[in-house]
């Protein structure tokens, strides 16, 4: 039974009923219809800056961003018309022109959303010349974009950034740190930390929330020394072993070692992690880690400065 505030619309010839205020993208997802996105994340408020999710609405003159457009009663939406596909291909092709291939995230885990979307659209080689590449080479008149390796846990590659602002919104809205912003104009626009400082010299707390939401290789894990193959890494759902908050995490285990930790949606953290929970997993493979229980036996117990024999009868711990 539908509530009075529900809205019924048609998406790809399928009737969909959702609460009023729902976006077209969310309505399509509930109906099992996939609309590609780059700047949008379900955990973040929509901003519609990438325009990859454009759809065609009957009666509308221009294409609409599905992640931002609210549903309306009787709305008829088409998600895969030739006009939509052409617009998406053009946007992705323009983004690929400035994107290192493969980027660091694609090399580490094959999880670069831009490159996966390009493969799904059949874009192997963009028609436009690259203005900047992975090794820092740039076209004449274009700004150099060096790697920022100042942070102990996050590597920053501005040449892989698509200015989707997911890192900025994750830092501001989820972690409330407000470290990341934008600087520059036009083609020189890029993300910046505080007043345009290196990441390691800023007020960043290294929680990694920006890296977790980055869709490309602009922000990647520095401790990730092993290439994580999604087909080989075994996810293990568990609880963070550090403090008593009880954050839900997933350990990604490959070749018997924990190679990555990601946040899992749980009642305590809702997918978020601090620097310890996300990056403090190297203890699991430390050579001095105790892997078997130790049993104290008095005949072998060392008598140090605080042993019972040394403390003597005057020790307050013997008083009753």
pLDDT value for 57 = 96
Task: Let me know if domain 6-80 sits in CATH 3.10.20.740.
Answer: yes
Distance between CA 73 and CA 203 in Å, rounded? 47
What pTM was estimated for this model as a whole? Answer: 0.81
Distance between CA 76 and CA 14 in Å, rounded? 9
Distance between CA 107 and CA 155 in Å, rounded? 14
**Tokens 């997933």 map to which residue?**
250
DSSP assigned state of 115: H
* Residue spans in the chain of domains classed CATH 3.30.70.20: 90-131+145-221
pLDDT value for 298 = 64
Predicted confidence (pLDDT) at residue 242 exceeds the cutoff of 50: yes
* Residue spans in the chain of domains classed CATH 3.10.20.740: 6-80
Q: Which CATH superfamily is domain 234-285 in?
A: ADC-like domains (2.20.25.90)
- Give residue-wise pLDDT tens across range 229-239: 666 789 999 99
Which residues have a Cβ under 8 Å from the Cβ of 170 and sit 6 or more positions away? 41, 43, 44, 209, 210, 212, 213
CB 206 within 8 A of CB 153: yes
DSSP assigned state of 70: B
Secondary structure, 3-state, 164-203: CCHHHHHHHHHCCCCCEEEECCHHHCEEEECCCECHHHCC
What is the rounded average pLDDT for all residues in the chain?
Answer: 85
Distance between CA 197 and CA 180 in Å, rounded? 10
* Residue spans in the chain of domains classed CATH 2.20.25.90: 234-285
φ, ψ of residue 8 to 5 degrees: the values are -110, 130
Task: Let me know if domain 90-131+145-221 sits in CATH 3.30.70.20.
Answer: yes
Distance between CA 57 and CA 78 in Å, rounded? 6
What is the number of other CB atoms lying within 10 angstroms of the CB of residue 303?
9
- Give residue-wise pLDDT tens across range 243-253: 999 999 999 99
- Give residue-wise pLDDT tens across range 32-67: 999 999 999 999 999 999 999 999 999 999 999 999
Mean pLDDT of 81-89: 95
**DSSP strand pairing (76-78 vs 6-11):** parallel
In terms of average pLDDT, the best of 208-217, 222-231, 296-305, 309-318 is: 208-217
């Amino acid at each position: 039974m539908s509530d009075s505030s529900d809205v019924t619309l048609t998406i790809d010839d399928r009737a969909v009923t959702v609460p009023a205020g729902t976006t077209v993208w969310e309505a399509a997802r509930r109906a099992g219809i996939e609309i590609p996105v780059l700047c949008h994340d379900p955990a973040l408020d929509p901003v519609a800056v990438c325009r990859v999710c454009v759809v065609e609405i009957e009666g509308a003159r221009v294409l609409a961003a599905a992640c931002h457009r609210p549903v309306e009663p009787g709305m008829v939406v088409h998600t895969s018309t030739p006009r939509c596909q052409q617009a998406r291909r053009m946007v992705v092709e323009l983004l690929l022109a400035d994107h290192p291939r493969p980027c660091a995230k694609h090399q580490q885990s094959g999880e670069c959303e831009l490159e996966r979307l390009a493969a799904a659209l059949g874009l192997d080689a963009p028609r436009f010349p690259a203005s900047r590449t992975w090794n820092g080479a740039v076209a004449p008149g274009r700004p150099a974009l060096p790697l920022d390796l100042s942070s102990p846990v996050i590597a920053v590659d501005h040449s892989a950034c698509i200015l989707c602002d997911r890192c900025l919104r994750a830092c501001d809205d989820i972690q409330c740190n407000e470290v990341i912003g934008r600087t520059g104009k036009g083609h020189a626009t890029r993300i910046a930390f505080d007043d345009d400082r290196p990441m390691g010299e800023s007020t960043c707390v290294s929680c990694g929330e920006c890296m977790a939401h980055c869709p490309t290789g602009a922000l990647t894990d520095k401790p990730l020394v092993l290439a994580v193959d999604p087909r080989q890494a075994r996810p293990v759902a568990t609880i963070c072993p550090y403090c008593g908050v009880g954050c839900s995490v997933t350990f990604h285990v490959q070749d018997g070692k924990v190679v990555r930790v990601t946040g899992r949606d749980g009642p305590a953290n809702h997918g978020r992690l601090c620097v310890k929970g996300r990056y403090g997993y190297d203890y699991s493979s430390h050579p001095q880690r105790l892997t078997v229980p130790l049993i104290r036996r008095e005949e072998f117990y060392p008598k140090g400065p605080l042993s019972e024999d040394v403390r003597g009868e005057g020790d307050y711990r013997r008083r009753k």
